[in-house]
Structure formats: structure tokens, C-alpha cells
């Protein structure tokens, strides 16, 4: 089923994001998690794509298994970094042959060890160009990324919204935001996006905090801000992993409950491959 059609049936659409095991770890290690994740009843599960396309084979394998063996809709992430047009078409055809109908089109991060990678060397140098290409083949439902606080490489949110509108006009069916920790930022972004003529569904990306150093690293790269109360929470529990996990679950649960109350189109939960913690969040938001 195409995810864009889910938004016509229900609100919010609940999604989990998982990532493939590292290349030196057997892919089978994720399979037990898949059973646990699908048992929680998400509307779909998205599977990430490694930097520079390093996990592309595993992404397809896992996304296919989610749909065909566990009978839960899936979405494969797909980037244009380091790929020729022929390689892009080959991967898209493989997705189609595996029964996948949904793809998240991304520019992607630089290949590992190449922080100064020149994206202009790609066949397509940004997500808008990739979206245009995907729109021409196999009738995929196409998602794309949005940045509630603006892309880290863009100096102004207003400029970023112009690029986002171009991406939507290229053929995007719905958007998924980067993580944020203050819902007011998301609501302000939605207001500005709608005013800019972006009228497709927008799913809110929520990342639970399990490790303080991990979140600080992620936010430093993404440009996402940390509210003062969140910094205090991380400082308080940073030396107690279990208390940090519980506090992170509670914070994410409060975020999601508020988003649902405010009528958000969807929630995209960055699970960090933690089925137990994901189950606790799902239980909390049902209360």
C-alpha cells in the first residue's frame, strides 16, 4: 500500500524507523527485532540507507522482508550520493521487483571518510533532482525530508522553505521532518510551510533520548536545538543509563501525545533499533 493513501484513511499515521546492522554484523541480527517491531502495529516501517549508499543491499533486503514476510508496509530510504543514473535505476527496479511501493528520496550524507565530498560530482546533486527521476519510474510513493529548524547547510529557514517547495513540486507525496525536541518549533514550521504553498502531509520526526553524548553528536550535525530543560535532564541522568532511558522515553511520549492532540498528520519514531523502548513509548501514548 502506498503510504500517501494512509493519510486519507487515518490520522496520525504512525511509523517506525530502523537501520540495518553494521556491515561486519550478520543482517539476520535484525530479524528478531522485526518481529517485535511489527507486533506493535505501526502503519509502516522505514529502513535507512548508509552514508554513500554503503548499506543499500541490506536496506532493500530488510524492507522487503518487513513487507513480504511480516506483512507490514515498508519504505526504503534511497540516496543519490555516489551513484550513476544506471545504478539508481537498477536499485529502483530491484525495489519494484521486491514489491516495494514507497521510497524516501534523500541527497544523502558524504561517503564515510570524505567530509569534503563534492555533491556536484553526483549524477544528481540534491534530493529534488532525485525525486524528479524517481517520479518517472514504477509509480512509487515518494517521501522526502523536511527540516523544522532549517537544513544545516542553509543559512535561513525562509531559503530552506523555498528549496522544500521545489522538492515537493518535483513530485513528493509527503514529508518527514528531522528530529526536534520542542513541539512549538514544529508547529511554527508547519504554519510557515503551509503559507509557502506546501500542502502535502507532514510527519513529525521524534527521536527518544537514550544516550546524552549520542544526542549531542546528532544535534551538532543536524543543527537541531536542545531546550534548556532537556539539557538539564541529560546532565542529570548522563551517568545512569537506565534512568536516562526512562527519562528519554517519558520526554518522547509527552512530545508525541501533544502532537497527536494537535492533529499532526503522522509521527515518525526514530526507534534506534530498540523494540523494548519503542513498546514502552507506544504504551504511553495510548494511555
**DSSP-assigned beta bridge partners for residue 39:** none
Distance (Å, whole) CA 48 – CA 56: 9
| 242 belongs to the catalytic site | no
Q: Which three cell numbers stand for residue 152?
A: 544545516
Residues 175 and 202: beta-carbon distance below 8 Å: yes
Q: Which of 224, 205, 200 is nearest to 150 (CA)?
A: 224
Q: Which one from 17, 73, 149, 280 is the annotated catalytic residue?
A: 17
Residues 90 and 53: beta-carbon distance below 8 Å: no
Distance (Å, whole) CA 248 – CA 63: 27
Question: Got the DSSP string for 146-214?
Answer: E-TT--TT-S-HHHHHHHHHHHHHTT--EEEEPP-S-HHHHHHHHHHHHHTT--S-EEEEE---S-HHH
Active site residues: 17
Amino acid at each position: 500500500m502506498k503510504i500517501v493513501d494512509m493519510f486519507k484513511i487515518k490520522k496520525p499515521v504512525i511509523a517506525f524507523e530502523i537501520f540495518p546492522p553494521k556491515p561486519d554484523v550478520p543482517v539476520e541480527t535484525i530479524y528478531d527485532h522485526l518481529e517485535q517491531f511489527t507486533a506493535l502495529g505501526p502503519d509502516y516501517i522505514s529502513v535507512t540507507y548508509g552514508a554513500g549508499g554503503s548499506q543499500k543491499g541490506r536496506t532493500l533486503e530488510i524492507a522487503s522482508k518487513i513487507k513480504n514476510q511480516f506483512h507490514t508496509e515498508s519504505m526504503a530510504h534511497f540516496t543519490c550520493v555516489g551513484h550513476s543514473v544506471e545504478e539508481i535505476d537498477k536499485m529502483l527496479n530491484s525495489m519494484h521487483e521486491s514489491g516495494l511501493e514507497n521510497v524516501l528520496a534523500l541527497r544523502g550524507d558524504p561517503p564515510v571518510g570524505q567530509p569534503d565530498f563534492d555533491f556536484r560530482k553526483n549524477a544528481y546533486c540534491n534530493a529534488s533532482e532525485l525525486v524528479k527521476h524517481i517520479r518517472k519510474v514504477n509509480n512509487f510513493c515518494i517521501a522526502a525530508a523536511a527540516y523544522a529548524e532549517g537544513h544545516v547547510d542553509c543559512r535561513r529557514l525562509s531559503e530552506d522553505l523555498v528549496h522544500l517547495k521545489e522538492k515537493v513540486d518535483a513530485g513528493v507525496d509527503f514529508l518527514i521532518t528531522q528530529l526536534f525536541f520542542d513541539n512549538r518549533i514544529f508547529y511554527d514550521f508547519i504554519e510557515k510551510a503551509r503559507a509557502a504553498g506546501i500542502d502535502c502531509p507532514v510527519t513529525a520526526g521524534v527521536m527518544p533520548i537514550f544516550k546524552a553524548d549520542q544526542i549531542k553528536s546528532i544535534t551538532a550535525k543536524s543543527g537541531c536545538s536542545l531546550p534548556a530543560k532537556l539539557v538539564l535532564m541529560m546532565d542529570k541522568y548522563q551517568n545512569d543509563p537506565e534512568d536516562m532511558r526512562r527519562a528519554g522515553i517519558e520526554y518522547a511520549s509527552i512530545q508525541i501525545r501533544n502532537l497527536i492532540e494537535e492533529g499532526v498528520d503522522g509521527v515518525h519514531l526514530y526507534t534506534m533499533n530498540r523494540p523494548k523502548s519503542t513498546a514502552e513509548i507506544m504504551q504511553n501514548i495510548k494511555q
